[in-house]
Amino acid sequence: MLSVENLNVSYGHAKVLHDVSLKVSNGEMVFIAGRNGAGKTTLLKTIAGFLKPDTGSVIFEDKKINGMLPEKVAHLGIRYVFQDKRVFSNLTVKENLEIAAYPVKENIKDAIDKVIGIYPKIEKFLNMRAGSLSGGQRQILLIGRALIGKPKLLLIDEPTEGLAAGTINDILNVLVKMKGNISLVIVEQNLSVVGMLADRVYMMKEGKILKEMTEKDEITNKENLEKYL
Ligand SMILES: Nc1ncnc2c1ncn2[C@@H]1O[C@H](COP(=O)(O)OP(=O)(O)OP(=O)(O)O)[C@@H](O)[C@H]1O
Ligand SMILES: [Mg+2]
């Protein structure tokens, strides 16, 4: 459903991605791992339309989408959950969901039900200020918000970054619930999380894809993944 072909991306004169290619099949959970500065966020932002590649293409459902505005890419069914975990802090959880539901004309009740479907506890927080949520809950709100409308592909940038072990479990549960129901590309530095969930892994280093893995025994072996950091 998604095919990224030989992407080269620069910030000004600094070239950051070098001939990056990857693919995602329907319902697949694909992980991108690699150290800080490897180019993972740059890759997601390019897929989502926030950055234009110098060369190469992003093909989504047989349509070339690089060059389209981010709103247009979102309209085609790709949602991007940013690394910065920003919510509307002064609004309630429910209002945060309403803001996402309005432009795609989704009924707020359906939108809330969708989020409850991946994280039942959200029901207790609906009338709380989003700014008072824990880091993990905020991340789940952002993932839930991205599910509103009918996205086909979700790009999630470092969902467990900065979270304590117990909270990482909540995120894992949410991701497990989504697995197979939607296509996902997840940037993740926690290799245990990668090993538990990935159908396919791309290890990135210095703006290049160093290794692609699809074999379960390769993916679940943390020492094996570490070799490509
Ligand atoms: N807006 C920008 N302008 C110039 N250089 C940038 C910009 N954003 C990122 N870079 C550089 O591009 C390279 C890749 O950054 P990117 O954020 O894509 O890496 P990352 O793998 O997501 O890292 P992290 O794990 O820290 O989030 C880094 O060298 C970074 O300094
Ligand atoms: Mg990043």
Whether the predicted pLDDT of 106 surpasses 90: no
pLDDT tens column, 11-40: 999 999 999 999 999 999 999 999 999 999
Distance of CA 98 to the CA centre of its chain: 21
Structure pTM?
0.96
Mean pLDDT for 193-215 is 98
Atom nearest to 44 CA in ligand 1: 18
Distance 123 CA to ligand 2 centre (A): 30
Q: Which residue's CA is the closest to the ligand 1 atom numbered 16?
A: 39
Cross-strand partners of 211: 203
User: What average pLDDT does the structure give for the chain?
Assistant: 95
> Tokens 């999380």 label which residue?
193
Q: Which residue's CA is the closest to the ligand 1 atom numbered 3?
A: 11
Inter-CA distances, 64 with 5, 73, 132, 155, 189, Å: 11, 10, 41, 18, 29
Domains of the chain: 77-184 (3.40.50.300)
What's the pLDDT band for 150 if we cut at 50, 70, 90?
Answer: confident
Taking each helix axis from N to C end, the angle separating 93-101 and 108-118, rounded to the nearest 10 degrees, works out to: 120
What's the pLDDT band for 105 if we cut at 50, 70, 90?
Answer: confident
As a whole number of angstroms, the distance between CA 100 and CA 210 comes to: 36
What's the pLDDT band for 104 if we cut at 50, 70, 90?
Answer: confident
- Check the CA dihedral 122-199-7-74 and report its sign: negative
Distance 41 CA to ligand 1 centre (A): 7
Whether the predicted pLDDT of 10 surpasses 90: yes
As a whole number of angstroms, the distance between CA 145 and CA 23 comes to: 25
Distance 114 CA to ligand 2 centre (A): 27
pLDDT tens column, 34-89: 999 999 999 999 999 999 999 999 999 999 999 899 999 999 999 999 999 999 99
Distance 44 CA to ligand 2 centre (A): 9
What's the pLDDT band for 112 if we cut at 50, 70, 90?
Answer: very high
